[in-house]
Amino acid sequence: MADIEGYPGSSMHGVTGREPVLAFSVASPMVPTDTTAKFDLPVDSEHKAKKFKIFSFANPHMRTFHLSWISFFTCFVSTFAAAPLVPIIRDNLNLTKSDIGNAGVASVSGSIFSRLVMGAVCDLVGPRYGCVFLIMLSAPTVFCMSFVSSAGGYLAVRFMIGFSLATFVSCQFWMSTMFNSKIIGLVNGTAAGWGNMGGGATQLIMPFLYDIIKRTGATPFTAWRIAFFIPGWLHVIMGILVITLGQDLPDGNLSTLQKKGDVAKDQFGKVFWNAVTNYRTWIFVLLYGYSMGVELSTDNVIAEYFYDRFDLNLHTAGIIAATFGMANLVARPFGGFASDYTAKRFGMRGRLWTVWILQTLGGAFCLLLGRSNSLPLAVTFMIIFSIGAQAACGATFGIIPFISRRSLGVISGMTGAGGNFGSGLTQLLFFTSSKYSTATGLTYMGIMIMACTLPVTLVHFPQWGSMFLPPTKDTVKGTEEHYYSSEYTEEEKAKGMHQNSLKFAENSRSERGNRVASAPTPPSSTPNHV
């Protein structure tokens, strides 16, 4: 059964999606295949794909997937392109440590707002135009790096480039129009992880380009400016590819999308209020700030750290820094997998412990990274830190769908914004002032990660319990149905607005873990292995 189209926040549906566990495809009895449609993949009645064939580029479903994640990847590349080149840029522009730190904060702050705006844009004109407009309007900002001659200019340009990270929203939204909601979880998780890899790839790409350009005879202070043209061209190329090869819907029909966008069956104000009054939302906003947030901060400082602390050349520092971001290829999906795996036996308690363990581990190794004086140890600790933090990101989004059904979109959006906010905060606190070195900054950040992960012990679901407490014994309050339908008032329930939530509640009984005895195994939580 399809979601209500145009439901506020539905643009963020599937961002998280733990709906089918580890599924690469949905079997036919569950979602009927439309046999009249002539697509490369089996599709449902809305012509959304039921199968996820990673290495195919067939139009429209898989082509959308690849266009979408590569656009997001490109924006990550350009947002963090300055980071590995900072040792050169700081000499060219005569930057102090606080100039560098502030520019790093600016690079992640813009997207807090642009991601929220992008949600509205996708609802209005569709994700394809949202993506194209953003990526091509931010191309000039990347080219602007060639004009920069002061700390203020550097900060302004990094701030403007940072807006492009909102392609995350268009990426996820676009795929929810192309893939059935039962496999959207894995599809979106893969796209998010592969896009985030751009933060790692850029640490390899930019020093490599800089080296080549220097070899052709350019002086260092000109070579880094020329290097920025490549991410700029990538923006333009991806924009043109998306607008020419992409299509909004499986059937290519734009006007239908516009019609659907007008239908709002719920009120944004109520949905938003429901999200902000749920304390669990805020705990996860904080947590994500210390998993995704520290990942973004580390993307900004790690290359310069290895260059300065261990006297490496730019190229080598870039390679090491790249392994941090590239771990996203497997680490983030692994986090989601670990969350699902523990949920099978221990239910929601398992998911909560998984997040706590992964994130605390990440924090501990961040601390050790700051303290290590030898290069091999530092690299080892960095890799374990990256796996911990990125897996924690994946595991966090294994829990988000269960916080609220009504406000899933808003909560996902707020959590995402919390990630960027955490990044800005940690860079401001630890990597901007000259009071302590970057090594000490990393150590303190590790301590703060471990401290800010502790609130997850407070997350309690009446029907499933928490990390330490069992579920409530109350027979009414201890049901999933009660939890999810209490998001609606009695009048709203009388109108039947909570019907979808009841369905979800039934499916979410899997979060009881092995204790599920009498309840029938809901079909959507049965893993469909390829």
Partner 1 sequence: MAAPGFIIAALVFSCLAANSCAVTFSSLPNNLIVSASTKQGQVLKAGEDKITITWSLNTSLPAGTDSSYHMVEVKLCYAPISQQDRAWRRTEDDLTRDKTCQHKIVTRPYSRSNNTFTWTVQKDVPTATYFIRAYVQNSHDEEVAYGQTTDSHKATNLFDVQAISGRHASLDIASVCFSAFSLVSLFGFFFMEKRKAKSSQQK
**How far is 333 from 326, CA to CA, in rounded Å?**
13
What mask of x and - would describe binding to partner 1 in positions 72 to 91, judged by CB under 8 A? Answer: ---------------x--xx
Among 22, 137, 379, 428, binds partner 1 (CB under 8 A): 137
- Assess 402 for contact with partner 1 (CB under 8 A): no
Asked if 149 touches partner 1 (CB under 8 A), the answer is yes
Nearer to partner 1, 70 or 86 (CB): 86
- How would you classify residue 523: left for phi > 0, otherwise alpha for psi between -120 and 50, otherwise beta? alpha
How long, in residues, is the chain?
530
Q: Is 233 in the site for partner 1 (CB under 8 A)?
A: yes
Helix (H, G, I), strand (E, B) or coil at 357: helix
- Distances in whole angstroms, Cα of residue 143 to Cα of each of 34, 105, 149, 152, 236: 46, 20, 14, 16, 11
- 259 contributes a contact to partner 1 by CB under 8 A: no
- Nearer to partner 1 by Cβ, of 92 and 479: the residue is 92
Rule CB under 8 A: choose which of 40, 211, 308, 506 binds partner 1: 308
Would you list the DSSP string of 183-214? THHHHHHHHHHHHHTHHHHHHHHHHHHHHHHH
Would you give the end-to-end CA distance of the chain in angstroms?
23
Identify the residue among 2, 3, 28, 140 touching partner 1 (CB under 8 A): 140
- The span from the CA of 346 to the CA of 352, in Å, is 10
Ramachandran sector of residue 472 (left: φ over 0; alpha: ψ -120 to 50; beta: rest):
beta
Q: Is 375 in the site for partner 1 (CB under 8 A)?
A: no
Closest by CA position to 400, among listed 270, 287, 528, 527: 287
Rounded CA gap, 121 and 123, in Å? Answer: 5
When asked if residue 236 is in the footprint of partner 1 (CB under 8 A), the reply is yes
How many residues lie near partner 1 (CB under 8 A)?
42
Shortest Cβ 223–partner 1 spacing (Å): 8
Binding residue (CB under 8 A) for partner 1 from 52, 129, 174, 346: 129
Cβ closest to partner 1, residue 404 vs residue 432 = 432
**Of the listed pieces 31-39, 232-240, 262-270, 481-489, which binds partner 1 according to CB under 8 A?**
232-240
Is residue 503 part of the contact set for partner 1 (CB under 8 A)? no
Buried b (16+ CB within 10 A) or exposed e, 221-253: eebbbbbbebbbebbbebbebbbeebbbbbeee
* CA–CA gap between residue 457 and residue 469 (Å, rounded): 9
Single residue of 18, 61, 158, 225 touching partner 1 by CB under 8 A: 225
- Pick from 232, 350, 398, 446: which binds partner 1 (CB under 8 A)? 232
Determine the interface stretch with partner 1 among 50-58, 158-166, 235-243, 269-277 (rule: CB under 8 A). 235-243
- Binds partner 1 by CB under 8 A, chosen from 35, 434, 475, 518: 434
How remote is the C-alpha of 172 from its chain's centroid? 9
Quote the CA–CA distance of 172 and 395 in Å, as a whole number.
Answer: 18
Tell which one of 33, 222, 457, 500 touches partner 1 (CB under 8 A). 222
Q: Site for partner 1 (CB under 8 A): which residue of 133, 272, 282, 444?
A: 133
Site for partner 1 in 188-217 (CB under 8 A): none
Give, in order, the Cα–Cα distances in Å from 156 to each of 104, 109, 149, 221: 11, 12, 11, 19
Residues 6+ apart with CB under 8 A from 85: 206, 207, 210, 224, 227, 314
Identity of the residue, 8 or 239, whose beta carbon is nearer to partner 1 in the bound complex: 239
Residue (50 or 214) nearer to partner 1, CB: 214
Residues that bind partner 1 (CB under 8 A): 87, 90-92, 94, 96-98, 129, 132-133, 136-137, 139-140, 143-144, 146-147, 149, 219-222, 224-226, 229, 232-233, 235-236, 239-240, 243-244, 254-255, 308, 434, 437-438
